[in-house]
Every structure is written in C-alpha cells, then in structure tokens.
C-alpha cells in the first residue's frame, strides 16, 4: 500500500536523569529496552539523528545515554523529543500481529463487505487499543475497541479490515438463546 509513513514512532525522551546527560525514555517497543536496538533514531522531522548508546531499566524508568549528550542542560533540551525509526529497519510482523502504522489508512468494511470508512488513528489510553474510523459520507468518526470481536479480520496486503460495530455484537448476543 502506498502512502504509509516511512518513519514510525518508537519512543519519546522525557526528563533529564542526573547530572551527566542521561535521560528518561518512554519506549513504545514491546520490550522497552529494545528501543536501543534499532540503531540511529530520528526526530519527527527526520532532520536530527539520535543515537542511544546504552539503556538501563530501573523500577521507575528506562534510562538512556544519548551519544553526544554529556550535561544535564543538553539532556533537558531533548525533553519531549519524539523518537522515530525508519519503517524498513523494523522486522516483519509475525502472523496475526501488525504495526499500528500499518493499520492507519486501511478501509474498514462491515462483515457483509460494505465500506464503512478508513482507519484514521489507533489510540491507547492504557487499557487497550481503540481504532478511530473516519466514516464515509458523514464526516464523523467512530471509536471501536480493537478486539477479536469487533475486528475479526485484518488484511494488510488487501488494505482492509472487517469491523463489527459494538451495537451489532450486542444485537447478535441478544439473539442467542
């Protein structure tokens, strides 16, 4: 599918840690320490290269040493910097798994194949993923939990996913004896 982003968000630099330039990092990778395994990262614009030299996991945070950052002031200047990796640097997803960025832009269809809209975003507010679908024709959006019941099929190569809106799930459960 064309139009997929070439940079994917994998983390964000937080507050400075200590006096020698270390920073806290919020990692969005499955294993938080893996953020350092992707090689050089970049900022959102793709204009600045950020290389994590090492990370250490503490009970409260992931602490990182960034190449060239040796003072607390330099570390503080990075606070809030979002960290991106080139899509090509990521391994292929396993069967039944997807990168969030691969879901954005997919056509959402009903179980009978009728187009509902396009996946505009995937959100996670702590409990689980929620997909936001921009509905065709109405200009509105629909938020749906990303579960096996509401999204029983994802076809990245085909550019679509099957979406069962929650009211349809509730109606089918009411029909059961």
Q: pLDDT truncated to tens, each residue of the chain (177 aa)? A: 344 457 888 999 999 999 999 999 999 888 899 999 988 999 988 889 999 999 999 998 999 999 999 999 999 999 999 999 988 888 787 887 888 888 999 999 999 999 999 999 998 877 788 999 999 887 789 899 999 899 999 999 899 999 998 775 444 444 455
The pLDDT assigned to 168 comes to: 53
Could you give the C-alpha distances from 108 to 105, 117, 175, in angstroms and in order? 9, 5, 25
Specify which residues 132 forms β-bridges with: 121, 143
**CA-to-CA distance for 41 and 47, rounded, in angstroms?**
10
**Number of other residues whose CB lies within 10 A of the CB of residue 78:** 22
The pLDDT assigned to 111 comes to: 93
The pLDDT assigned to 5 comes to: 53
The pLDDT assigned to 1 comes to: 38
Backbone angles phi, psi at 163, to 5 degrees: -125, 125
**CA-to-CA distance for 50 and 47, rounded, in angstroms?**
10
The pLDDT assigned to 13 comes to: 97
Could you give the C-alpha distances from 86 to 1, 95, 100, in angstroms and in order? 16, 21, 14
pTM (predicted TM-score):
0.68
Q: Please, which residues have CB within 8 angstroms of residue 57's CB and are 6 or more apart in sequence? A: 32, 33, 63
**CA-to-CA distance for 27 and 12, rounded, in angstroms?**
7
The pLDDT assigned to 18 comes to: 92
The pLDDT assigned to 170 comes to: 43
| Helix (H) or strand (E) run with residue 174 in it | helix 166-175
């Amino acid at each position: 599918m064309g139009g997929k982003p070439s940079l994917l968000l994998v983390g964000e630099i937080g507050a400075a840690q200590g006096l020698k330039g270390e920073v806290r990092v919020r990692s969005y990778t499955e294993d938080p320490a893996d953020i350092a395994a992707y090689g050089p990262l970049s900022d959102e614009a793709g204009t600045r290269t950020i290389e994590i030299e090492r990370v250490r996991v503490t009970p409260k945070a992931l602490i990182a040493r960034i190449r060239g950052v040796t003072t607390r002031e330099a570390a503080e200047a990075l606070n809030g910097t979002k960290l991106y990796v080139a899509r090509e640097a990521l391994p292929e997803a396993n069967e039944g798994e997807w990168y969030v960025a691969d879901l954005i832009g997919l056509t959402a269809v009903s179980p009978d194949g009728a187009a509902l809209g396009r996946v505009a975003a995937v959100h996670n507010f702590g409990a689980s993923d929620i997909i936001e679908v921009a509905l065709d024709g109405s200009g509105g959006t629909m938020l749906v939990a990303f579960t096996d019941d509401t999204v029983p099929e994802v076809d990245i190569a085909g550019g679509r996913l099957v979406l069962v809106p929650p009211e349809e799930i509730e109606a089918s459960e009411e029909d059961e004896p």
